[in-house]
């Protein structure tokens, strides 16, 4: 299991300046064969003893790349420091080496680990600091936003979530793939075929790889109809479909740029419209922003758009620290 490294290639300067304020440890939450899938726990050094709220963050990367510790948004780190909470960020297996439904099993297994093993791990490594498993928020950007919303839609966590904070998620998968498959200029299918042909026993499982190294591979899959089959038993892999049979959902923040060049905001509009029909009582804050796909890359809590969104979040999380609300 690779240990995380924080540097200027995978963090903003703001985040690098915040990270020394945390105690940071790593462990694994599952193995597949001999392949260990890791998770990083960050706890502010000033955290008092007792039960603390939990924030889980899923990384992005078009489902094909990314590392759990990479590009932790400054606002996430500042929020965790403000509330003396526990930040947890996991890896998960990646496409195309792993089928998407098997990656979803990783996400389910991660939540099982949180329920059953996180308390033991904290006791052994952080002494009196405990996780309040009934005070959990989830966030993620892009692909991580997808895994955030699917964690709620598929009822993956027995205790339920206080709030989901979804940053520019892939949330209408079928329409996203239709757009890419209709592209006039495509990354050829041979990119994917060559990659799969060259896999070895050592590389057939992959759960982390640097950002920016496999976007052509992702495009080759998505543009040529090889990313996922959403028919039959796999229909749930599209949040537009899993929404139809979802359990009662927690409050949701959905942030998306109208100028997003990677994930069209139309999918967010369509999903929100459907949410209002099937679960009209869900409390929703839909923040429509400007800028590129990852518009919040270098943003802190002082950004006006984030402050408004997090004021909404703070109505529901953390519930155990009423004295330090925004």
- Burial class of residue 219, CB neighbours in 10 A (0-12, 13-18, 19+): buried
**Secondary structure of residue 295 in the 3-state scheme:** coil
pLDDT in tens, 183-219: 999 999 999 999 999 998 777 889 999 998 999 999 9
The average confidence (pLDDT) of the chain is 94
Give CA–CA dist 110/53, Å, rounded. 17
Which residues, in sequence order, are CB contacts of 311 under 8 Å at separation 6+? 326
Evaluate the CA torsion angle 204, 157, 301, 121 in order and state its sign.
negative
pLDDT in tens, 75-119: 999 999 999 999 999 999 999 999 999 999 999 999 999 999 999
| Amino acid 170: pLDDT | 96
Which residues, in sequence order, are CB contacts of 63 under 8 Å at separation 6+? 94, 95, 100, 103, 143, 146, 170, 218
The 10 Å CB-count burial string (b at 16+, else e) for 269-302 is bebbebbeeeeeebebbeeebeeebbbbebbbbe
* Global confidence as pTM: 0.95
Give CA–CA dist 39/1, Å, rounded. 10
| Amino acid 114: pLDDT | 98
Give CA–CA dist 139/59, Å, rounded. 9
- Please check the confidence at residue 282 and state whether its pLDDT lies above 90: yes
pLDDT in tens, 17-35: 999 999 999 999 999 988 9
| pLDDT band at residue 1 using 50, 70 and 90 as cut-offs | low
How many C-beta atoms lie closer than 10 Å to residue 171's C-beta? Answer: 28
Domains of the chain are 13-321 (3.40.50.1820)
Give CA–CA dist 97/95, Å, rounded. 5
Kindly state the helix (H) or strand (E) to which residue 17 belongs, with its residue range.
helix 13-18
Give CA–CA dist 64/191, Å, rounded. 14
Return the residue matching tokens 């709030």.
163
Give CA–CA dist 90/140, Å, rounded. 11
């Amino acid at each position: 299991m690779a240990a995380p490294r924080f540097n200027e290639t995978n963090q903003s300067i703001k985040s690098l300046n915040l990270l020394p304020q945390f105690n940071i440890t790593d462990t694994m939450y599952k193995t597949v064969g001999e392949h260990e899938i890791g998770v990083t726990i960050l706890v502010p050094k000033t955290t008092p003893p007792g039960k603390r709220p939990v924030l889980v963050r899923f990384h992005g990367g078009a489902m094909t790349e990314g590392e759990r510790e990479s590009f932790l948004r400054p606002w996430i780190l500042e929020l965790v420091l403000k509330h003396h909470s526990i930040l947890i960020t996991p890896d998960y297996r990646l496409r195309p080496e792993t089928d998407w439904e098997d990656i979803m099993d990783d996400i389910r297994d991660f939540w099982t680990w949180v329920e059953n093993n996180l308390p033991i791990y904290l006791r052994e490594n952080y002494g009196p600091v405990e996780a309040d498993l009934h005070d959990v928020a989830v966030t993620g950007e892009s692909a991580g936003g997808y895994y955030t919303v699917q964690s709620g839609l598929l009822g993956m966590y027995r205790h339920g979530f206080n709030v989901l904070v979804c940053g520019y998620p892939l949330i209408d998968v079928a329409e996203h793939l239709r757009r890419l498959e209709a592209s006039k200029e495509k990354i050829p299918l041979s990119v994917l075929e060559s990659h799969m042909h060259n896999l070895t026993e050592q590389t057939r499982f992959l759960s982390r790889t640097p950002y920016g190294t496999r976007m052509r591979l992702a495009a080759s899959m998505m543009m040529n109809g090889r990313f996922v089959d959403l028919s039959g038993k796999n229909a749930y892999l599209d949040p537009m479909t899993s929404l139809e049979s979802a359990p009662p959902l927690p409050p949701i923040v959905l942030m998306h740029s109208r100028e997003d060049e990677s994930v069209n905001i139309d999918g967010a509009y369509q999903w929100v419209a459907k949410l209002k029909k099937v679960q009209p009582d869900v409390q929703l804050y839909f923040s429509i922003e400007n800028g590129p796909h990852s518009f919040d890359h270098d943003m802190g809590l002082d950004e006006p758009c984030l402050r408004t969104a997090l004021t909404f979040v703070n109505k529901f999380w953390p519930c155990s620290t009423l004295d330090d609300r925004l």
